[in-house]
Chain A
Amino acid sequence: MRRPDDQELRRVLSEALDAAPVPTLPWTSIASSVQGSRSRARAVRGGRWWVSSAAVVALLLAVALASRSTSFTQAARLTRTVSIAPQPNCAVTFSFSGIILQPKGYVAVTTSLGTPPFVAATSGSGFTGPCGTVLRLTQHPTHAEDVFVGWVVSKRPGEFEPVRGRPSTIHLTLRGKDEVVYVKYIVRGSRTTSSN
Chain B
Amino acid sequence: MATDADIAAARSGDSQALERLAQEIWPLAYHVALAVLADQHAAQDAAQDAVINTLRALSGLRSAQAVPAYVRKTAARSAHRELQRALRELPSDVSLLPAPIFIGEEYLELRQAIAAMKAEDRIPLLLHYGAGLTSSEIGEALGIAATAVRFRLMRAKDRLRQALSNSAEGDVRNAAP
Considering the chains assembled together, what is the distance between the CA atoms of A125 and B111 in angstroms?
33
Chain B 105-126 interface residues, beta-carbon cutoff 8 Å to A: 106-107, 109-111, 114, 125-126
Number of A-B contacts (CB under 8 A): 159
Considering the chains assembled together, what is the distance between the CA atoms of A67 and B125 in angstroms?
48
Considering the chains assembled together, what is the distance between the CA atoms of A20 and B130 in angstroms?
12
Contact (A125, B89) CB under 8 Å given A25-B26, A29-B15, A195-B57: yes
Inside 8 A of A27's CB, which chain B residues have their CB? 22, 48
Instruction: Pick from A16, A75, A83: contact of B130, CB below 8 A.
Output: A16
Instruction: Pick from B13, B125, B168: contact of A13, CB below 8 A.
Output: B125
Q: Which of A95-103, A107-115, A127-135, A140-148 contacts B (4 or more CB under 8 A)?
A: A95-103
1/0 per residue A140-176: CB within 8 Å of B? 0000000000000000011000000000000000000
Contact (A20, B110) CB under 8 Å given A10-B129, A158-B40: no
Contact (A93, B126) CB under 8 Å given A72-B15, A81-B41, A193-B18: no
Nearest Cβ on chain A to B153's Cβ, whole angstroms: 10
Residues of B in contact with A, size category:
35 or more
Instruction: Pick from A17, A28, A87, A194: contact of B31, CB below 8 A.
Output: A17
Inside 8 A of B23's CB, which chain A residues have their CB? 25, 28
Nearest Cβ on chain A to B162's Cβ, whole angstroms: 10
Nearest Cβ on chain B to A195's Cβ, whole angstroms: 4
Instruction: Pick from A14, A19, A126, A193: contact of B129, CB below 8 A.
Output: A14
Chain A: CB-nearest residue to B90? A93
Inside 8 A of B26's CB, which chain A residues have their CB? 22, 25
CB-based contact B40/A14 at 8 Å: no
Instruction: Pick from A26, A94, A124: contact of B44, CB below 8 A.
Output: A26
Chain B 80-128 interface residues, beta-carbon cutoff 8 Å to A: 82, 85-86, 88-90, 92-93, 96, 100-104, 106-107, 109-111, 114, 125-126
B interface residues (Cβ-Cβ under 8 A, vs A):
10-13, 15-16, 18-19, 22-23, 26-27, 30-31, 34-35, 39-42, 44-46, 48-49, 51-52, 55-60, 82, 85-86, 88-90, 92-93, 96, 100-104, 106-107, 109-111, 114, 125-126, 129-132, 157, 160-161, 164-165, 168
A interface residues (Cβ-Cβ under 8 A, vs B):
1-4, 6, 9-10, 12-20, 22-23, 25-29, 32, 70-73, 75-76, 78-81, 83, 85, 87, 93-98, 101, 124-126, 157-158, 182, 184, 193-196
Having A26-B48, A124-B89, one finds 17 other A-B pairs with CB under 8 Å, namely: A12-B106, A13-B125, A17-B130, A20-B34, A27-B48, A72-B18, A80-B45, A87-B93, A95-B86, A97-B41, A101-B85, A126-B92, A157-B41, A193-B52, A194-B58, A195-B57, A196-B13
